[in-house]
Amino acid sequence: MRPEHLRAGTARAAKRARHGFRTQLSQGEKANRKRMATLACVYDTDLAVRRPHDVIAPPGGRTGNRRPRPGPVAADKWLIGSVEQDPAQVIASAFDQAEARDPEHHRAWIVRVDGARHQLGLIQAEAARRTIKIHIVLDIVHVLEKLWAAARCFYAPADPDAEDWVATHAARLLGGATADTVTALNTEANQHALGGEQRTGIDTCVRYLDNNADFLHYDQALAGGWPIGSGAIEGAARHLVADRLAITGSRWSVPGAEALLQLRAIISNGDFDAYWRHHVSAETRRVHPYADQRICHLTT
């Protein structure tokens, strides 16, 4: 972002930062030049019942004797992104779209999140305001990332045994045994006598699982056929934001970035033709106000 369009906290951090070099950032130094966008995605899907090993391969890999059951497929996706609106507004817009699809609230509403506490609070508050029952599921991809970080406490980066270690704990989580997983991670760290920075990955993973235990009932989600990954929103982050706004050398103002995000969302949602008709009509009224048209008289 252009410096004058950073959020207040980021702008203060940028002013406090002491740069080691004039032409590039030093190791561990943050640029403080970005502004977080809020994205939401609403889509329909049929239920797809699975088991833990349909989602993640067992230790040692798949044998090929049983094909994994496919997961839910997203259909009729609707996207929204904003760097100007606050997260509560974006979440409310997503609920508006979902409620337009299911006004009587007969369908199961599954909400995938990444564990951000502020985000969770806004989602729960919006659902309560509308008296809608929602099922919140923590994105399995974020959980796997935490498990991989924990694996680095025991294995070298290129050690293939780390993959089996992650698969074992992931399968346990997918079976609904969150408390057992936390106990196993702590026990293993103690057995290896890890301390201080050596067990940072383990402690971070354990804290993440403990804080989000209410949203880790993957056994219920798989039995119900619900989606447990957030591939749709991760794809939106790449398509709506990164592919255009993160191009090399770009510097954005809030109005410019917001306009581009809105336009890309409109195109992705298949609403461009309707938007363009509205745009042309609104521009005509702006350039040629109705009051001006009334005072014009044709003469011969």
Q: Give tens-digit pLDDT for 205-220.
A: 999 999 999 999 999 9
Query: What is residue 72's predicted lDDT score, i.e. its pLDDT?
Result: 93
Q: Which of 48, 68, 55, 67 is nearest to 223 (CA)?
A: 48
Joined tokens for residue 225? 């056929």
Which tens digit of pLDDT belongs to each residue from 78-112? 999 999 999 999 999 999 999 999 999 999 999 99
Query: What is residue 66's predicted lDDT score, i.e. its pLDDT?
Result: 81
Residue 133 corresponds to which amino acid? K
Q: Phi and psi of 245, rounded to 5°?
A: -80, -20
Query: What is residue 18's predicted lDDT score, i.e. its pLDDT?
Result: 64
Looking at the DSSP assignment, which residues form a beta bridge with residue 42? Answer: 78
What are the E-state strand segments in the chain? 38-44, 75-82, 109-113, 134-138
b/e 27-44 (16+ beta carbons within 10 angstroms → b): eeeeebeebebbbbbbbe
pTM, full prediction? 0.85
**Separation of alpha carbons 33 and 12, rounded Å:** 11
Contact 80, 39 (CB under 8 A): yes
Query: Within the chain, which residues score under 50 in pLDDT?
Result: none
